Structures are given as C-alpha cells and as structure tokens.
Structure 1
Amino acid sequence: MKRPAGFVEIRQGTDTCWLREDGLSTLSGSVFEPSFWQSRQAVTGTATGRGTTWFVRDGERHLVLRHYRRGGLFGRLVKDLYAGIRPAHSRAMRELSLLEAMYRDGLPVPKPMAARMSRRGPLYRADLLIARIADASDLLAVLQRAPLSGNQWQQTGAMIRRFHLAGIDHTDLNIHNILLDQSGTSWLIDFDKCSKRAPGDWQQANLARLLRSLNKEKGLHPALHWNQQDWPALLNGYHSQS
C-alpha cells in the first residue's frame, strides 16, 4: 500500500508521518501530541474508551486525534504496541489510505488528515488524525434521547449498503461506529482492520454484528429506543440500494 496522493511523508527520528498537504497548519509530527494542542489552547474536548480521544481545533478545522490501543485481555498486557517495521503496512497508514479512497469516492466517512507510525525496534505505536463530523452523535447517544423514525432506519440501512456495494468490509460495525448528524445524515467511522473485498458472506456478517450490538446495548440500557421491530426497516433501506 503506497501513500495516497496529496499527502507528504515526514520522518522524525523513529517516527514516520503522512500529513495532508492542504489540510493542516503545521506539517510536523507534533500534531499527534496532545500537549501540542494544549499549548495552543486548542483542545475542545475528550472522550474515553480504550484510551483518550482528543478533539482539537486547527484554525477553523475541528479534528479528532486517536491513539491506537489494543482491546481484550491481550490489550491489558501490550496496550498499544504492534508488530511491524514498514510504515505503509502499519494500522494507521492502512486506515488512512482506506479512508482517503472512500472519501474520494463520496462515501460518508470523516476526511483523513494524518497518520503516524512510531518505531520501537520491531514494534510500533500508531496515531490517526481525522476531521471531526460536525454536530454528530453516535447511534447509542441518539437512541438514548429518542427513537428513530422508520425512514431514518431505512436511511441507515441504505448507507450501510453503499459501503457494501463499494466492497468495504467493516469488521466492527456496531452502534458506536454509526453517527447521525443534525441533518439526519448517517456516517460510518472507525475503519481499523477494515478492508476492501469482493462480495461474500462478510456482508451478512457485518449486519449480524450490528444487530448483536443493538441487542447488547438494549440489554445494558433498557430505556434505549430500540426494539426488534426497527430491524426490518433498516433491512428495507439496505435492500433498496442496488
């Protein structure tokens, strides 16, 4: 996988960075350091999950800075180290390249801005910087506030189908990775370990993964505005795209 057009490569010590030429005020690896944004009083918020996600402002642009961290039991031991020495094969550069291809194809994804691989011998750490989708909340937050209409579920299903028609296998399609903005547009985020593939069983596996996620969150949040009767509407929207 090679660096997409429109990105420059900068090497600083053991770090390799890919940076969008026309998208950042500073073409430097410093943009991956929370302290850089803190010193400019440009941190607009944070979110916690496996680690801390930073929301920052670069002039008029609002960005999201994410450090890659492992999940599960293995993640408790290794946390944020991955095996590999070639930047183009790192998780950050692979996700940036896939995002850029989808962004250019007009799919509803955040605009990728930069990626970094930090070598530690045969291992590395990784970071990704993307544009923030304005006025958007994940599907969990939306459903905690109010139910979606049948038309909104159909639009969500149609959005997923667009990705499948483009061959995008989102291996972690869940309630947290679907965003809705205030105009009602659906977006898809978090493409770590995702890829472009020929049609296959993975498409139904994506949908099954999403259904499990919806049912799981309903179990954790009984007041969530979701029930099994909403699923056919999503599938109707999905199958309306061809």
Structure 2
Amino acid sequence: MERIEHGSEIIWYDPECFGAFKRDYFEIDYWREQNAIRGKSVGRNTTWFVEDEVGHKVLRHYYRGGMIGRVMEDTFLHVAESKSRAMAEFTVLAKLHRRGLPVPRPCAARMVRSNLVYRADIILTRINNARDLVAILKEQALNKQEWQGIGRTIRQFHDAGLYHADLNSHNVLLDDSGKSWLIDFDKCHFRQPGSWSRENMERLLRSFRKEQGLHPGFHWSEQDWQALLSGYRAS
C-alpha cells in the first residue's frame, strides 16, 4: 500500500490495481474526459463504474444517512486517518481479500480534510458479470443449491469474524458462474464470536421479507431462506 499526502488530501492506494496512479482518479469529471464511464448505480446516492488501462473499477463517494445526512450530506467529523470511513473500509477489504474471501479488491481510498470535518471516497475493483440478489429475484428464482451456496459464503465471513454492518439482499451478489459475493463494507469490522452473527442473519432475513413486500412476483419464499440456512449451518 502506498500513501500520498497533498495539502488537505490523504490517499492510500494499491499500485497493483493501476498502471500509473493519478490523484484525478477520484474525480468523476476525469473519467468523463477520458470517455471511461461504463455505467452507474443510482440508489440513495450514485456509484460510478469506470474503466482504466487495468480493468473495470467502482468509484464511490461517502454520504451520511438518516436525519443528520440532511445537514451534513457528505461531511464527517475529523478522526484519525486510519479510522476515516474510506481508510477503515479499505483496511477491512484488504484483510478479507488476502484471506481469499469473495469481496471486491480495494484499490484506493481518499480523505480530504477541511477544518474539523472531512470528505471521503473509495475505488474498488468491479465484480464482473454479477448482479445483486434483489435484481435477480425480481426476474427469476434461484435453486436450492444456489441458496445453499449463498449461505456457505456468508458463513465464511462470519467464521473470519467479519461483522457486516449492512447485510441485506442488495449487498449479496451472484455472478454468472453462480459464485456469491458480498459488497459494501462501510462501517464493517472484525469481532470475536458472539450473538452478532445471529443478529446479522436476522437482518438479512428482514431484508428479503421487505423486498418481497415491495415487489409483486418477487421470487423468494421462506423455503428459500431455509435452504440458505442449511448451507450456512453445514459450513
């Protein structure tokens, strides 16, 4: 991992992810000028998909949620560099990636300080040919083996001690080979074994039930959840 400090800007980056790293990589206007934007995902905020000489990447700016987000949309109170949102997520992902777990590889993280606050961004490798479970289940059902595979994957993360702060059906991806992945590790951290793993799974179940209520014809049932659990418990 390399570190750059330029004025109020601090950047961590993995040189193996880039040909020659540029600070401009965090600016969406740079990618527009290069005609290198390959798409975007629009939810509460926009995540950009871009392509450089090495491959496809994801550029994400950090925003606040909840009521405070209406006042401090994308600013956070200043903390130690390693505890900033981007650097903390970069660190977690780097550990998971080294362990061979199915996560996007962290490429670069940035914090930009301004008086008592900072803003943050992260760049990740893009998981090719993958969609989140909500997008898939709106179109088709998964078979028992696929559900069991998802359960086994989540168990791998829990066995590694990873607490996923937002384990929901949007943050589980399935690629075209049937491999499952987890994404969005903002505010995630490692813990000792405890009841948190059960609470994590309950959060995921609530997510499936919520999406089922939102989308008529959503291809999910409680039986699918039992198949996921059987994979989780068998691991």
- TM-score interval for Structure 1 and Structure 2 normalised by the shorter chain: over 0.9
Aligned to 1:157: 151
The within-5 A match list for 1:138-153 is 138-153=132-147
Number of aligned residue pairs: 235
Match of 1:228 among 194, 206, 222: 222
Any idea what SS the aligned residue of 1:223 has? Answer: coil
Aligned to 2:115: 121
Output the CA distance in 1 between the equivalents of 2:79 and 2:5: 14
CA RMSD for the aligned pairs? Answer: 0.9
Please give the TM-score of this superposition, normalised by the length of structure 1.
0.95
Match of 1:180 among 171, 174, 177: 174
Residue 76 of structure 1 deviates from its aligned partner by 1.5
Residue 229 of structure 1 deviates from its aligned partner by 1.4
> Which AA in structure 1 matches 2:149?
Q
Please give the TM-score of this superposition, normalised by the length of structure 2.
0.98
Q: Does 1:97 align with 2:91?
A: yes
Aligned to 2:125: 131
> Which AA in structure 2 matches 1:94?
A
Give the fraction of aligned pairs with identical amino acids, expressed as a percent.
48
Contact 1:43 1:57 in 2 (8 A): yes
Q: Does 1:215 align with 2:205?
A: no
Residue 202 of structure 1 deviates from its aligned partner by 0.6
Any idea what SS the aligned residue of 1:16 has? Answer: strand
Residue 28 of structure 1 deviates from its aligned partner by 2.7
Output the CA distance in 1 between the equivalents of 2:116 and 2:68: 18
Residue 123 of structure 1 deviates from its aligned partner by 0.6
Any idea what SS the aligned residue of 1:198 has? Answer: coil
Aligned to 2:44: 50
Aligned to 1:29: 23
Output the CA distance in 2 between the equivalents of 1:57 and 1:225: 33
Q: Which blocks of at least 5 consecutive residues in structure 2 are unaligned?
A: none
Any idea what SS the aligned residue of 2:16 has? Answer: coil
User: CA-to-partner distance for each residue in 1:81-129, whole Å, 9 max, x for gaps?
Assistant: 1112422110100000110000000000001100000101111000000
Moved more, 81-90 or 10-19: 81-90
Match of 1:109 among 100, 103, 110: 103
Output the CA distance in 1 between the equivalents of 2:227 and 2:79: 46
